[in-house]
Amino acid sequence: MSDHGNRRQRQLRARLGESLKGLAGGMVRSMGVPTQRIALPGSDDAISQRYARSVIELCLRVGETMIATGASAADTVAQVLRLSSSFGISGVHVDIHFSSITVSVHRGLDEDPITVMRVVKVRTTDYTRLRDVYRLMDEITSSNDPVDPDVARRHLSEILQQPHPYRRWMMSLGKAVLAAGVVVMYDASFVVIVAAALSAILADIVTRRLDKWGISAFFVQMAAAVVITSIAALLYWVQKLGFDFMAQVQPTVIVISGIMLLLSGIGLTAAARDAIDGYYITASSRGLEVIMMTLGLAVGISLTIGVAIRLGIPIDVGTSLGRTENMWAGVLGAALIGVGFTLTSYVRLIIAPVMAVLAGAVFAVYFIIQPLLEGPGLAPGIAGIAAGVLSYLVYRWIMVPEAALTMAAIIGLIPGLTVYRGLYTLMDGPQGIVAALGELFTALAVGIGLAAGTTIGGQLARRSFGLDRAAEISLRRSRRVK
């Protein structure tokens, strides 16, 4: 009887040990599928080659159009994946390398994969065309009936062939308003405002002509810098003649407005945004482009200053005017910059007041919090959060591309002048290397702050006010397959 009892106790202890071992193993070992998929399954064997090629061609053209008109790499990938999923093709990979886009679909073991690549030859900011592309994709993805890819491609061709919302001279006027807004931010005189606007128009005429001739962008930037700095030198010469109305004029502001006009800081902010989104090759390429464009500015300004000094004109172009002390002048200047950006990026004129209010409000936030924070990227980051939230709310209201609203809101804060200041200091000689690196790191911090802030603000607004499920899934998937 005792042997039987002992044997039963041993069996119970063995069962209890196995149960405890299984319980402990279940607490440690993962029982579900991996949360991060290493590869997308190729489950599109039943799709014909003709249909797959037609969808891939449409996706490629949509992606090319979005990059060419000013969309970010992450937005382009998300929208292309959303579009391909709406046509029933799930095993799609999208890769963007600055000026090229590759779309590939894996169709299983029995069918050959299809991979198509296209180089984006033109990159500009045309948010009206980008808005029409977004609307076309919304129509395709929300349709209850299947959409023929060939029909969708014809609609896309119509969007690409439609004229701009206004004539080219309106874009030149927008650049004049943008340059004047920079001058107003520093509370300059009316003479400088007019001179800055005229210099922007002349620089636009020169750069447009050189672009038609196929001149390299570096030399185009250099020529624009020569035009703008020459007008500043002319004002210095008029001051030298002793005219009373020129006594309080600061020609340096004209050069600074030209630097802001040529928008090297936008490229740096876009590079920071791509880096945050995980597109490091595209971000590196954008960063190198910013350096080359800014070097073109520095060479053009230095060349003009050298010629002016040899002609006896006492020109001295500074690289800083300090912080504007008049908040209302800054808000008005930022609003004008927003209006100018509206015109230069082909946004509908009816949206100009909205962008002006956005830019002014974000600058007011920056002006208030800047004295309270010491880090170079903290105040721009908080202002960027405000810009991201406000831009998304306005986007939900008037359905203008969110990228256009965000850029208009922060364009008055972009670090174009800081990038120029660093490279200009570097060109003075080896003794300026430490100071130049400090300025360049400051510009990078501002760019990252703005990019991170707008991203965080947009995400906060989406979490609070919602995003359609298809776009959310596409966005998550795009970050897994980069």
Question: 65-74, 265-274, 396-405, 431-440 — which one is most confidently predicted on average?
Answer: 65-74
State residue 263's pLDDT score. Answer: 59
State residue 173's pLDDT score. Answer: 92
State yes or no: pLDDT of 45 exceeds 80: no
State residue 177's pLDDT score. Answer: 92
Angle between helices 217-240 and 252-261 (to 10 degrees): 160
Considering only 205-209, 225-229, 238-242, 243-247, which range has the smallest mean pLDDT? 243-247
State residue 89's pLDDT score. Answer: 85
The rounded distance, in Å, linking the Cα atoms of 422 and 441 is: 9
Sheet holding 114-119, edge to edge: 92-97, 100-105, 114-119
The rounded distance, in Å, linking the Cα atoms of 270 and 312 is: 41
Quick one: pLDDT band at residue 437, thresholds 50, 70, 90? confident
Quick one: pLDDT band at residue 145, thresholds 50, 70, 90? confident
CB neighbourhood size of 462 (10 A) = 17
CB neighbourhood size of 166 (10 A) = 15
State residue 470's pLDDT score. Answer: 44
102 SS3 class: strand
Residue 350 region by backbone torsions, left for phi larger than 0, else alpha for psi between -120 and 50, else beta: alpha
Mean pLDDT of 245-265: 67
The rounded distance, in Å, linking the Cα atoms of 391 and 387 is: 6
348-378 per-residue burial string, b: 16 or more CB within 10 A, e: under 16:
eeebbebbbbbbbbbbbbbbebbeeeeebbb
User: Pairing mode, if any, of strands 100-105 and 92-97?
Assistant: antiparallel
Residue 137 has which token pair? Answer: 């994709």
State residue 478's pLDDT score. Answer: 47
State yes or no: pLDDT of 150 exceeds 70: yes
The rounded distance, in Å, linking the Cα atoms of 156 and 227 is: 39
State residue 245's pLDDT score. Answer: 56
The rounded distance, in Å, linking the Cα atoms of 458 and 396 is: 12
Of 28, 65, 240, 263, the residue nearest 232 (C-alpha)? 240
- Secondary structure of 118-165 in HEC code, one letter for each residue: EECCCCCCCHHHHHHHHHHHHHHHHCCCCCCHHHHHHHHHHHHHCCCC
Of 479, 447, 476, 480, the residue nearest 462 (C-alpha)? 476
Mean pLDDT of 201-223: 91
Q: What length does the chain have?
A: 482
State residue 413's pLDDT score. Answer: 85
State residue 468's pLDDT score. Answer: 45
- Secondary structure of 81-97 in HEC code, one letter for each residue: HHHHHHCCCCCEEEEEE
The rounded distance, in Å, linking the Cα atoms of 434 and 429 is: 11
Quick one: pLDDT band at residue 390, thresholds 50, 70, 90? very high
H or E element, residue 117: strand 114-119
Of residues 40 and 175, more confidently modeled: 175
Question: 43-57, 62-76, 140-154 — which one is most confidently predicted on average?
Answer: 62-76
The rounded distance, in Å, linking the Cα atoms of 237 and 56 is: 60
State residue 99's pLDDT score. Answer: 85
269 SS3 class: helix
Quick one: pLDDT band at residue 62, thresholds 50, 70, 90? very high
The rounded distance, in Å, linking the Cα atoms of 294 and 266 is: 12
Considering only 237-246, 299-308, 356-365, 405-414, which range has the smallest mean pLDDT? 237-246
Task: Please give the mean pLDDT across all residues of the chain.
Answer: 81
